[in-house]
Amino acid sequence: MRIGFGYDSHRLVTGRKLILGGVEIPYEKGLAGHSDADVLLHAIMDAIIGALGLGDIGRHFPDTDPAWKDADSIVLLEQVVGLAASRGYSVSWVDTTVIAERPRLSGYIDRMREALSRAGLPGDLVNIKAKTNEGMGFVGRGEGIAAYAVCLLDGKEKA
């Protein structure tokens, strides 16, 4: 068994779509970033990469690489799940928390889990919790959205 932890945050700006957990969510702002800036998927990917002991998401998908400009993070997640498989590991469980003051995310969680399934990470192995930050800090002021994830990988390192 390997455990991994991931964190990500992105700034909310006008003129961008809000993509969270692979789902487009109607809102007046979206997350700024080189890729689609899906904080939830980035936290999950960092948790998986961390459990593999392979650094972080920036090492695998550098934001200086034009290949990842506006990248669909579902495609990146698919690659990270494949990376785990190539090392002999499968994802046993992922638990996550997304922290956003607005919009309300609870109605989108089932669709996020379906989107994860399409990336090869079965939605029934992923728990997604959505909270606000009670008006405190950058999340509370609506300046950005943050996400945390932990994952457990099961397998045996391939020699």
Residue 8 sits in the site that holds Mg ion (CB under 5 A) = yes
Enumerate the β-bridge partners of residue 85: none
Buried b (16+ CB within 10 A) or exposed e, 5-41: ebebbbebeeebebbbbbbebebebbbebbbbbbbbb
Q: How far is the CB of 77 from Mg ion (least distance, A)?
A: 12
> What DSSP string describes 75-136?
HHHHHHHHHHHHTTEEEEEEEEEEE-SSS--GGGHHHHHHHHHHTTS-GGGEEEEEE--TT-
Q: Of 13 and 90, which has the nearer Cβ to Mg ion?
A: 13
- Interface map 38-67 toward Mg ion (x if CB under 5 A): ----x-------------------------
Buried b (16+ CB within 10 A) or exposed e, 43-71: bbbbbbbbbbeeeebeebbeeeeeebeeb
Q: How far is the CB of 76 from Mg ion (least distance, A)?
A: 10
Q: Of 8 and 101, which has the nearer Cβ to Mg ion?
A: 8
Q: Of 52 and 149, which has the nearer Cβ to Mg ion?
A: 149
Q: Residue 55 in 3-state DSSP?
A: coil
Q: Of 46 and 101, which has the nearer Cβ to Mg ion?
A: 46
Q: How far is the CB of 103 from Mg ion (least distance, A)?
A: 19
Q: Of 36 and 101, which has the nearer Cβ to Mg ion?
A: 36
Residue 16 sits in the site that holds Mg ion (CB under 5 A) = no
Q: How far is the CB of 11 from Mg ion (least distance, A)?
A: 11
Residue facing Mg ion at closest CB distance: 42
Q: How far is the CB of 155 from Mg ion (least distance, A)?
A: 26
